A and B are shown apart, each in its own frame.
Chain A
Amino acid sequence: MDGIHDLGGKQGFGNVELDASSIEKRHIHGFNERWHAAVFTIMNSLFAHGAAANTDHFRHSVERIDPINYLSDGYYGRWLGGAETMLVEAGLLTQDEVNNRVLSKGHKVAEPIAARPAEQSPTFAPRSAAYHPTAQREPLANPIFAIGDNVVAHSLGGTGHTRLPSYVRGISGQIIAAHGAWVFPDANAHGHGEAPKHLYTVRYQGADLWGPNAEEGVVLNIDLFEPYLELAQ
């Protein structure tokens, strides 16, 4: 979906706001707040009890957050919105239960759930018994493209999950690496199976993406799935 999460190339967000770990160049890491870790753990638990079918399903729940909230809630706030949506959609909690509990924690108003429902509720097949340590899979077909090919990416035009950002669409780039076949997020997020597709790294010249005022000597590399691509004319 062409949602607010597709931030690449958008203008107007201002300078990067550094945190102490960058300013002081110290090895600060881990969670800044306990509630961040709570959200992280809740997210993990979604997979354990089936509310989240897979990572792609989860990422799409975050993308469906109200766009204003997406920008203002922070990273773990976004995850929280996604988690809440999936718990309600899976029938494990009701929206009223969540809202009432928020009120009892001292909120004056129960703001509506952060995420909007999917256009259609996906139904997921039970998890395959096969254990896969990664999202890489045996290819179902030979790759269509080879390193060195010039390609153009086009949106598949759906309203669902995709990993094709808008800023590279319609621009010619060159394949510089082939990574084999991987679980296809556009299908997997919606219960349409893993449908493995070949994955390539495509290199774009900055001036091709951003025009004559682009910074000089900049290239952009991005990993794109085969169904997004066709040979450049």
Chain B
Amino acid sequence: MIKKFSLTPYLFLTPALLAIAIFVLYPIIAVVYYSFTDYTIVNPPVWVGLSNYSSLIHDTTFWRALSHSFVYLLVTPTLIFLSIILAIIVDRKLPGISAYRALFFIPVISGSIAVGIAWRLMLDTNGIINALLLSIGVLKEPIQWLAEPIYTLPFCMLMTVWLGVGYYMMIFLAGLQNIPDELYDAALIDGCNSWQKHWYVSVPGLRPQITFVAIISSLAALQVFNEVFTLTNGTGGVLQSGYTVVYYLWQQAFRLSHAGKASAIAMVLLLITLIFSMMNIRLLERGTEAE
């Protein structure tokens, strides 16, 4: 039987395909092209071949930003660990437990810029953190937290964890509620204590969620910008201590008008995130095969 060609499904697809072509495909192609040009945004791009890429190889600031972005990946295991702990804690039938879950979720629905400004105020010389530490005698002099290079990245990462832990907690909570009670009963009969019950039942049961969270949180960590921008007030921190790849990309494009070089940075980032995604998906497939 010969299938009759029908135009109708393609017509239905056309608006979506057009939107994707205009808002996704074209920008990607444009960025690829710009990465081979000297482009100042205000003047037309001029073809320079691979010089943007070769300049990145010799650019110590780029390597510093890249290393910071890799350090930033530490938020991923931290988020997974804390979110699972929190999910286990709130996965109980207690009066008012919904309020606790909502409390942990509030940072997720708060704007990251607003949160960044609030954190900046807390970390100010006269902020609440210094006031607290001074009042309990931990400090004798207030610390200018955001002017100390060693604190810039850790505070940005802390803010990322604080912002994201509620969201990932909800994902793990949903995963926990899908694990059959019989498995926990069997674990108890086998002599597991409360800790072992979660280690041998909950964690393996949450494998799909862990993989999912690992992928999306590591991609988000590699692309971090808002936390760095708000906490350092747009400067990237003293001694470039808060420079990440996306911050550096932004600075090159919008502060120094090197859109060509910024596009090359974007291509490198694209490559890294692609490799990360493929590795994560591979891990997921292996885990599923093993089961």
A and B: bona fide binding partners: no
- A residues whose Cβ falls under 8 Å from a Cβ of B: none
Q: Which of B's residues lie within 8 Å of A, judged by CB? A: none
